[in-house]
Every structure is written in C-alpha cells, then in structure tokens.
Structure 1
C-alpha cells in the first residue's frame, strides 16, 4: 500500500471536542445563541487581548461586517496589499467599493508602510483618499500595524486588520491586529485552531461591536414582531461550532510552538540547498508559522516552484503556491495598483509546505526527502 497522503494543514483535534459538543446538545442551545457563544467570545478576547468580540459565521463575514460598520459606500476606495486571499477585499467590492492594491515589503511579505505613506500623500493631493485601508497578516506573520497606523492616522483613514492568518502572532508585545479599528479572525478548518468554520469580529470600541452584532442577526429592531430599519445578515456562529472553537483555543499556545518547530526543522534540513530560502520573520514580532512558506529560485535549484509542487504531489504530498497577487486575478484586472514586483516574485517562487499540527516527524522527513531528491536529480 502506498503511504497515506500528506495534507497541507488539516484540522487537528484536541480530544475534548466530542464532550463539548455533547454538552451543547444536552443544553438545547444549538442555535446561534446561548452560553457556548459567550464562552467562545470570551476565549477569543482572552487569546487576543481585544475587549469586545463578536463570533461570526466566517472570517469573511467578519470582514463584511467591518466594512458595513465603517459605512463603505459604492465608489469608495478600499486599499489592501495585493499579496493576500480574495476575501480581504471581496466583501467591499460586493458593496460597490473600488479596490486599490499596494505591494508588500520583501522583509515581511506584508503591506509596505513606506509605499502606503507615499501613496496616501499622493491621494491627498488628488483629493481622493481611501475610505479604509486593510492590513493583512500573512502565513502567521503580523503586519507592521504601527507603521500602517502612523501612515493612515495622518489622513484620518481607518484601518481594518485582516488577521485571518494571524491568530497567535505577536507584534511589539501585543496580539496581531491590536490597534486597528476592527480585526477579523478566522477559525476555518485549515487554521492552527479551528471551530470547523467560523470567525470573529474584534474591536476596542464596544459601539462598533454592538452595531456589528445587530447587523449579524438580520438587523432586527427591538419589537414584538419582525421589524427592520436596515437590512442585515445571517452571520451568527452556531453554538456547536463555538463549543469546538473554545476547546481548540485552549491549545493555541502549544500549537503555535509546534508550528514554529516544524518551520525550524524544514529550514534546518533544506536551507543548505541552492536556491532555497524561507519566509523571513519580521523584527517587530513573533510569527506563528501557520504555514511554512519557502522560495525556490529555479536558476539555482534546478526546477521552478510549480515543477517542485508537481513532484511533491506525485509523491502523495500536498503543497500549494503562495497567494497569487490579486491585481493579477481576472476579477481585478482593471483595479488600480501601486507597485507589485515583490508580490509577483513571491508568487513565482513561493511554495507552502505541509504544516499541520498532526504532522509526524516521519511524514515531515518524507517531504524533506522529496525536495532534496528534486534538487539532486
């Protein structure tokens, strides 16, 4: 029998999820309400330091609510790094906003504050500042939020932190996303901790969270009948998923340590190969290494990133290219951009390796052996 396929970042259970689910079922609170929701929101607050948290159906839902509470309107510009997942800007685009994509810093792979500062000054001269800027944490690395906030505060532009990939990361002594007007978190199945889905809307301002909570429950007005002054969404999290998420959050710290150890082992085993380098860690914080990402220079390694991905796939190992820049996606072919060479080079060379918390040492050795064999072939 061939060895089992190694997946990129599968869910990893703690062993306590079944009891938590049974407790919720026994309580009768299976709808998106009740004590399991409150416990999950408190656990997210404790893990991140945000005083006010709303559990949501997904990280994308949290981002949509962020754009709603910031009153994004058709024609408004929303700026974000081009090197990110589509959900960073998709809800704003669906609201009629115009995305503008900025390049990232090669030292962190996150939004370049110097480029942002220059672009904001140019936009102010044109009399068209963005309605919001989205900072994005990438592969477990927190964006330089202090630099981004300093650039935006000068012009009164609010910052949203897409921290879907940043849970557990630190930035100058605080959790990723702290300082932004709103942070959006994800508990999707491939994250370090998962609820089997779900997300969170987190903020320091209780008014913003209260408004988001209202919108997340169909914006129902207080009345004995169904009455709506505005339209909302069905964005609340199930109590069942909340119970799973609470159990998983208790394992966050050891899981971050385990992912960092996986990254270190890959780096120690592969860094001697010509043309191989790994995602740098920014000096302002500690990354979780949610996914181990490396760069492959074909002129030195002997094959390009895609050929190596196919070699791994043939060996029963899932790997994945890093994010394709959004300005190069067909959906955003007409969107304005500033720079993009760094993001393009990262996509051309970047590959994410299996990084799950359940990855056994022998399985990691399989990944390492295929990569080393490809280089020596």
Structure 2
C-alpha cells in the first residue's frame, strides 16, 4: 500500500490485530485436516481460555450471542419468566433473552462506568418479586471492558436466589477485585468478534465451573445429537460450535492478549493527556481503569461547559476519515424494545447523548494514531 493510500485509509475504532503467529497456526490447522467444527485446536483453545479466566470449563462457540443464549437456557429462561438486563448494552444481550422466550426487563446504569446500577437492580428485583414475577437471571454487562461491580451485584442476586450470567463479551483480560473477567456468575459469555480485544473472526466462549453445565452446552451446541450410529434427536439443538480453524486464530490471539491490551492502554493514556485541560470533557471510565482492558476509549462531553457537542467532534473526525461512534443506544430506546418494561433514571440516555467512542484498537499504526490526535487537537483549537 502506498503512502498516499495509507493516508487516505479510514481509521477504524478497533480493527482486528492479526499477524504471522495467527497465520502460522491457521495453516497448521488447515494442513492437519481438522477443518470442520471441533478438533485439537478447539480443545487447546478451551483449555487456554479456562486457565486465563480461572474457570473449570470453557466451551468454544460460534459467537458470544450463542454463549449468552445457551447460558440463559441453562438458567431456566423461557416463556413466562423475566431476565434483567442493563439498558446500556449492545442488542445481543437483550436478543439472547428473547431467543429463550423470556422477557427482558431493562435497568439503568451507573453514571461513572455505564454498568448496571446495583441499587436499581435491588429495587427492580424487589418490585418484580412483589408482583409475583419469576426472575430467573440477571445479566450484568462489562461495558467497554470495565467489569461490572460484582462485589455489590453478586450478594444482591444471591439474596434473591437469582442466577447471574455475566456478559463479559467486551472485558476479556480485565479484572475486578483481583479476579479475572469471565470468572463471575454461574456462567459467563465471551465474544471474539472482529472488533474485540482478541478475535477469532467470529466466535465466542461459554465459561462455567459446573461440569454438568459445560457438558449440556456442548450437547446443545452440536444440534443436540444423541450418541447413536444414526442421527437421533430428542430435543431442539443449535449449530453453535466453533471451527478448528478459527480456534487456531484464538490460540495465537490469546498468546498475544497482554501485549495487545497494553497498546490499548497506552492509547487511552494519550487521550487522557489530550483532554486533561479541557473543561467539560472527561475520558469515560477513567480514573479507576487500572484493571480494565481498555477495549474502547470514550469521552463524555458536557456542552454547557464546552460549547460544543460530542456530535460536533464526531463530524470533524468523519471528515478526516476517522471512525467514531456514540456509546450504545439504550435498549429501552430501541424501536424493537420500546414496549419492554424498565426501571430508568435517565443516566443511559444522557451517556448516549453525550458520549463518543474514539479509535482504540491495538492494530492502529503510529501514523493513524498521530492522525487521530492531530485531528482532535485541531478541532479543540477551533472550538
């Protein structure tokens, strides 16, 4: 690629970070003949991920959404039950609830982190129980790589006898109270989508300490096939297993995970310095991000103090060929979920209106990083 092409190439938020090691292991998988789902790379990937997250069992799946779906089925989610979901999340969290036939109930978030508000959760659980509702699970989401406040959330859920399914899709490599992301809850779901901190192109993982749950998930994710010579099925299953070739990518990415996180952290620190003296702008989830994987760095803009909107910065970046986007649009505001029940304070709506996610990927080249910093600096000099 020429220097001119590199200059004009759009800078993405979080492009895949792959290199020679990934190529080496993918070629090894292809040459081994293990192309279809399952195989030695899948087994090794599961062992490595279980060790990394401190779990007893890991099941490699086709997506993080698949992991959430199966985890919720195991928690008892079905028609006539309720699952509590943070309203500040990606649609996959809520969609997985709908797949089971259960009803998602949306709860607002904490201002500083965007994660599920423990006090609101407790109120929601109390109100739903008083109304005779059957709440089978709570799904905390580790937003942008910041672990939810499990120290507060887990005792609340335990008091109400409700299963916790941790949506750790964005937080692999992060920690909370000295424990790794993915280690919380009865089950946890990881995502290896192309824009995540590590990728298998597409893919996910279900984590658990319960052997029976892991075995059940393996069974359901391979079309619930019975152990017979012919194809025998006694219940509905799913085609959710990860391929051996993609697992090879995952093994290489896991080897490089810490260095990739460090590059993201370094980029966050540059943003912190860039906005340090700007009244009305804060780097979202900072300070307090020492245990975060810094998957995506965002800023929150208070236009009453800045005189400009987050959308103004987004437009300036777009003109320069740089991708940015608002924080997640809350689920209660999505057209498909507008009739869903919720407990809201307005925090998620404010974060959506005032937040902007900036390029944060570990694969960003120095020239791209400098282009982003220069564009932001020039914008701040104009406003």
Q: TM-score, normalised by structure 2?
A: 0.95
The 3 A distance-change label for structure 1 pair 362 and 273 is: farther
Superposition deviation, residue 281 in structure 1: 4.4
What is residue 249 of structure 1 aligned with on the other side?
254
What is residue 327 of structure 1 aligned with on the other side?
332
Q: Summarize deviations over 1:177-224 as a string: whole Å, max 9, x none.
A: 323011000011101111111000000111111101100000011111
Contact kept, 8 Å, 1:139 with 1:290, in 2: the verdict is yes
Contact kept, 8 Å, 1:144 with 1:284, in 2: the verdict is no
Match of 1:74 among 65, 70, 79: 79
- Asked if residue 355 in structure 1 is aligned to residue 363 in structure 2, the reply is no
CA distance in 2, matches of 1:245, 1:22: 13
What is residue 29 of structure 1 aligned with on the other side?
34
Superposition deviation, residue 109 in structure 1: 1.4
Superposition deviation, residue 129 in structure 1: 4.1
- Asked if residue 193 in structure 1 is aligned to residue 198 in structure 2, the reply is yes
Q: Summarize deviations over 1:59-81 as a string: whole Å, max 9, x none.
A: 11111111121221112111111
What is residue 60 of structure 1 aligned with on the other side?
65
Match of 2:22 among 14, 17, 20: 17
Superposition deviation, residue 284 in structure 1: 9.1
Which deviates more, 293-302 or 306-315?
293-302
* SS of the residue 2:371 aligns to: helix
CA distance in 2, matches of 1:26, 1:359: 31
Q: Summarize deviations over 1:257-297 as a string: whole Å, max 9, x none.
A: 21111101111112212321111247596111100111122
Contact kept, 8 Å, 2:80 with 2:134, in 1: the verdict is no
CA distance in 1, matches of 2:207, 2:290: 20
Match of 1:125 among 116, 126, 130: 130
Matches within 5 A, 1:95-114: 95-114=100-119
Match of 1:94 among 79, 91, 99: 99
Q: Which consecutive aligned stretches of 4+ in structure 1 deviate over 6 angstroms post-superposition? A: none
CA distance in 2, matches of 1:87, 1:71: 18
Superposition deviation, residue 348 in structure 1: 0.5
Contact kept, 8 Å, 1:107 with 1:280, in 2: the verdict is yes
What is residue 184 of structure 2 aligned with on the other side?
179
Matches within 5 A, 1:202-217: 202-217=207-222
* SS of the residue 2:68 aligns to: helix
CA distance in 2, matches of 1:258, 1:284: 14
Contact kept, 8 Å, 1:281 with 1:287, in 2: the verdict is no
What is residue 278 of structure 1 aligned with on the other side?
283
Match of 1:8 among 13, 17, 21: 13
* SS of the residue 1:356 aligns to: coil
Superposition deviation, residue 308 in structure 1: 1.5
What is residue 346 of structure 1 aligned with on the other side?
351
Q: Point out where structure 2 has 5 or more consecutive residues left out of the alignment.
A: none
Q: Summarize deviations over 1:28-50 as a string: whole Å, max 9, x none.
A: 11111111110110111122111
What is residue 375 of structure 1 aligned with on the other side?
380
Which deviates more, 213-222 or 129-138?
129-138
Contact kept, 8 Å, 2:146 with 2:285, in 1: the verdict is no
Superposition deviation, residue 118 in structure 1: 1.9
Match of 1:298 among 284, 303, 312: 303
CA distance in 1, matches of 2:323, 2:26: 30
What is residue 261 of structure 1 aligned with on the other side?
266
What is residue 145 of structure 1 aligned with on the other side?
150
* SS of the residue 1:247 aligns to: helix
What is residue 238 of structure 1 aligned with on the other side?
243
Match of 2:322 among 307, 317, 324: 317
* SS of the residue 2:79 aligns to: coil
CA distance in 2, matches of 1:283, 1:127: 39
- Asked if residue 289 in structure 1 is aligned to residue 294 in structure 2, the reply is yes
CA distance in 1, matches of 2:18, 2:245: 15
Contact kept, 8 Å, 1:326 with 1:332, in 2: the verdict is yes
Superposition deviation, residue 146 in structure 1: 2.4
CA distance in 2, matches of 1:312, 1:373: 10
- Asked if residue 45 in structure 1 is aligned to residue 47 in structure 2, the reply is no
CA distance in 1, matches of 2:39, 2:379: 53
Aligned length: 377
